[in-house]
Amino acid sequence: MKRLFFLDNLRWMTVLLVIVYHVFYIFNCSGVVSSINVQGIPVFDAFQMFVYPWFMVLMFIIAGVSANYALQKRSGKAFIKDRAIRILVPSITGMFAYGWIAGWIASQYAEDPEAFAQIPKAIQIMIIFLSGTGPLWFCQLLFPFCLVLMLIRKIDKHQKLTAWGEKASLPVLILMMIPFWISSMILNMPMITVFRIGIYFFSFMMGYCVFCHESVQERLEKVAVWLMIPALLSGIVITALHYGENYADNAFLTNPLVNAYAWMMVLALFGIGRKYLNFQNKFTAFMTTRSQSYYLLHYTFVVSIAYLCVTRLTMLPFGVYYVLMFSGTALFLPLVTELLFRIPVLNTLLLGVTKKK
């Protein structure tokens, strides 16, 4: 089975987009809960609103496609073992190894510091570790999704779901925005808004059943540019209409027009990726091997630099903070990643690195 390089390229490019998003998110002015309760430059919220509805959806779709391809080469048991090492282990150890830094910083901006100080020390520590989950939540959802997938495969022994997915025509693919929208209203955590279980599981299964097929990818490739035009226009309109609103609020994320925009953007990006990104060179190959590590580690650097800015560099213009977060993360994230990558055991525990046979 030939490797589809555009999937690798879409994945690491989306990871870079997540990093950029978090730089702006730290000081958002839209009321989205952040580790640092300090408002920055409001205009940057437009970028966050534009990308938030779809970039993690794309990540879960790519994960579903990857799961399908992996299960064509290995048993279910080997697949779960591989995902446990590469996804579950680093998402748990990361909370205790470095996630606590973001958790501790968030505790400094508690709504009621006096009430937090009166909580028993052991409970405070537990809250700090749990609130330091950061972007690790993606892995903590993805692994259970893989377990549920194993159950679905046992029920659907003849792979009728994937057989149906291969037949999905372009009109059917576009109309899938309706169940996509419905899934946005299912199993949303009331306090932890990133845990949108319904829509992310639907996206994962769409990747596994539909987007994995080369015929579907070819259909999207043929109309990629035509899909991108309405996707971009709808994104601009939605951002203009809802600018200043809480883009992580359930009311915004369950809006049918917002979900239609998110779905069209995902279809367009998949087609664009297939059309223009299906290649590999030294740089893209390197980014493919490091994308998960960058995803796991980046938030600690972003939030730490942001905390340093607002507590130690108060004399600087606020715009300089964004420059420092971008440049500091771009400098230290690759250096620390390369160091950890070369330390046996630690690279597995923190980055999910496995030895290839």
pLDDT of residue 89: 95
Place of tokens 């990006």: 269
Which runs of consecutive H residues, i.e. helices, occur in the chain?
5-25, 45-51, 55-71, 76-83, 89-94, 100-107, 113-118, 121-131, 137-155, 160-166, 170-175, 177-183, 197-206, 214-222, 224-242, 250-253, 256-276, 282-312, 318-341, 346-351
CA distance 224 to 321: 37
| Alpha carbon distance 254, 314 (integer Å) | 39
Per-residue pLDDT at 337: 96
- Look at the block and give the residue holding tokens 């369950």: 254
Overall pTM > 0.85:
yes
How far apart (Å, rounded) are the C-alpha atoms in residues 98 and 50? Answer: 29
Sign for the CA dihedral angle at 221, 226, 227, 229 comes to positive
CB-based contact 350:300 (threshold 8 Å): no
- CA–CA gap between residue 67 and residue 162 (Å, rounded): 12
* pLDDT under 50: residue ranges of the chain: 357
Q: How far apart are CA 104 and CA 101, in angstroms?
A: 5
Task: State residue 148's pLDDT score.
Answer: 96
* Separation between Cα atoms, residue 92 and residue 327, nearest integer Å: 28
CA 200 to CA 15: how far, in whole Å?
17
pLDDT for the residue 157: 87
Contact 180, 200 (CB under 8 A): no
What's residue 106's pLDDT? 86
Per-residue model confidence (pLDDT) at position 195 = 78
